[in-house]
Amino acid sequence: MAQIIPFKAVRPARDKVGLVPTRPFQEYAVEEVKFQLEHNPFSFLHILNPGYKFQKEISGSERFQLVKNRYLEFKEEGIFIQDEVPAYYIYKTISRNQVYSGIIAATSANDYENDVIRKHEDTISHREQLFKDYLKTVGFNTEPVLLTYPDSDVINEITSEVMQERPEYEFSSLNRDVHYLWIVNDPERTEKIREEFAQMEAVYIADGHHRSASSWLLAKESKEKNPQHTGEEPYNFFLSYMIAQSNLKLYEFNRLIKDLNGLGKKEFLMQLDEWFRIENRGTEFYKPSKKHHFSMYLDGEYYSLYLRKTNYEFTDSLSTLDPYILYIKVLRPLLRIEDLKNDHRISYLPGRNESFDVKKQVDEGNFAVGFGMLPLTFDEIKQIADAGLTMPPKSTCIEPKLRSGLTVYEF
């Protein structure tokens, strides 16, 4: 059963909370990072980019240690404070198009090992090890793993009650999202939340497979080195954001391919014809409306591709996924894209971006062809996870995307 517990968060002082948290680092352009570092002394980017203080690019173990040093400075200067009582933290964001709310908590690494926390993506060993070493050096976790759970009336009732009260934080970020945080530390509520999660057979990783795996590796290593291990040590848990399945938003990833693998346009279309019924839509924008329907933009024109189901055999839940079908029937055999993670000939655009971005990239000559599909449903992801299967990389883009530096979990 899922062990989701309260913890004593390290978090920004209230008067600085609008200045500290950041988007995930990979979302920033170089110019944005530079601007933040130059003009915002409270930005969490100063911790993530410790070399800025010395005007030097730093990497590896040296960077890890300096990250820890900058973090300790934030605590020493009162930019970060730590709660004295373990708590759950209800976090809500309001954007132009969506409202998200969930519970920030500490999640058992043992549940990851025992498949109570279920996965749907493969991880890369060297990335797991690298991030494990990072966590071991810095001693904290600040970017929550996004976990999802079946909707719960008990949790919904508690969070609704709490959100009627004055929040600890209320601030806006530069992208105009509004953020709220409530602290839940009274024993009655925390115990109800803990008990409700404990009754769940499984929770699911929505985003953060490598972070989860790395935290589990750290817990395993720490346990082996601690003869007094009890299972209650902070290293046995990692930071998570628990959000109900109904509150997730799923987008597709469009595929962009650099070239046609030496095929001419007509030859490529003829080879596609074996597995798809093809309709030329001309310059009319086309987006699929049904499962197993795909869009393709090639040489200034849109095409609809309908899977010929009489030719295709559905054998398990993986074989029904559109990203998998596109991979085994088009990308791998026709375009020779074997490694979806590392092949430089393929790029991905999340469906939350304008679909016209695919057209723009092809028209400008950056890519030869683009493919689109419907987003997966969470039921499809759940079926994959429950069956112990893994989806192709970049099968789905899941929101919300969480900010770093709002709550920190120390171990």
pLDDT at residue 55 in the model: 79
pLDDT at residue 355 in the model: 60
Residue 196 within any structural domain of the chain: yes
Task: Give pLDDT tens digits for 240-274.
Answer: 999 999 999 999 999 999 999 999 999 999 999 99
| pTM metric for this prediction | 0.91
Of all helices (H) and strands (E), which one includes residue 356? helix 356-363
Based on the domain organization, do 63 and 124 belong to the same domain? yes
Query: Whole-angstrom Cα distance, residue 242 to residue 245?
Result: 9
Q: Give yes or no for residue 14 having a pLDDT over 90.
A: yes
Residue 208 within any structural domain of the chain: yes
Task: Give pLDDT tens digits for 92-107.
Answer: 999 888 999 999 999 9
Residue 389 within any structural domain of the chain: no
- DSSP secondary structure letters along 177-246: -EEEEEEE--HHHHHHHHHHHHT-S-EEEEE-HHHHHHHHHHHHHHHHH-TT--S-SGGGEEEEEEEEGG
* 166: confidence class by pLDDT, cuts 50, 70, 90: very high
pLDDT at residue 162 in the model: 98
Domain count across the chain: 2
Task: Give pLDDT tens digits for 127-155.
Answer: 899 999 999 999 999 999 999 999 999 99
Based on the domain organization, do 284 and 167 belong to the same domain? no
Query: Whole-angstrom Cα distance, residue 128 to residue 209?
Result: 9
pLDDT at residue 342 in the model: 86
More confident call, 218 vs 175? 218
Residue 302 within any structural domain of the chain: yes
As a whole number, mean pLDDT of residues 60-85 equals 95
Based on the domain organization, do 136 and 275 belong to the same domain? no
Residue 394 within any structural domain of the chain: no
Do residues 362 and 255 make contact, with C-beta atoms less than 8 angstroms apart? no
Query: Whole-angstrom Cα distance, residue 314 to residue 332?
Result: 18
* 61: confidence class by pLDDT, cuts 50, 70, 90: confident
Based on the domain organization, do 240 and 285 belong to the same domain? no
Residue-range definition of the domain harbouring residue 304: 254-374
Q: Give yes or no for residue 286 having a pLDDT over 80.
A: yes
Based on the domain organization, do 239 and 270 belong to the same domain? no
pLDDT at residue 25 in the model: 79
- DSSP secondary structure letters along 70-85: HHHHHHHTTSEEE-SS
Closest by CA position to 374, among listed 277, 305, 298, 272: 305
Task: Give pLDDT tens digits for 186-211.
Answer: 999 999 999 999 999 999 999 999 99
pLDDT at residue 354 in the model: 61
Residue 406 within any structural domain of the chain: yes
pLDDT at residue 232 in the model: 93
Based on the domain organization, do 271 and 370 belong to the same domain? yes
Residue 392 within any structural domain of the chain: no
As a whole number, mean pLDDT of residues 149-168 equals 97
Q: Which of 30-34, 77-81, 151-155, 252-256 has the lowest mean pLDDT?
A: 30-34
Q: Give yes or no for residue 54 having a pLDDT over 80.
A: no
Phi, psi of 49 (to 5 degrees): -125, 65
Based on the domain organization, do 213 and 295 belong to the same domain? no
Based on the domain organization, do 117 and 245 belong to the same domain? yes
Helix and strand counts by DSSP (H, E) for the chain: 12, 21
Percent of the chain with pLDDT over 70: 99
Percent of the chain with pLDDT over 90: 85
pLDDT at residue 353 in the model: 65
Based on the domain organization, do 288 and 405 belong to the same domain? no
Residue 391 within any structural domain of the chain: no
Q: Are strands 80-82 and 10-12 parallel, antiparallel or unpaired?
A: antiparallel
pLDDT at residue 137 in the model: 96
What distances in angstroms separate CA 330 from CA 122, 333, 336, one per listed residue? 22, 6, 9
Average pLDDT of the chain is 94
Based on the domain organization, do 306 and 260 belong to the same domain? yes
Based on the domain organization, do 263 and 171 belong to the same domain? no
Based on the domain organization, do 157 and 227 belong to the same domain? yes
Q: Kindly provide the b/e burial profile for residues 163-189, where b requires at least 16 CB atoms within 10 angstroms of the residue's own CB.
A: eeeebbbebeeeeebebbbbbbeeeeb
Q: Give yes or no for residue 108 having a pLDDT over 80.
A: yes
What distances in angstroms separate CA 234 from CA 5, 69, 120, 125, 267, one per listed residue? 11, 20, 26, 24, 59
Q: Give yes or no for residue 125 having a pLDDT over 90.
A: no
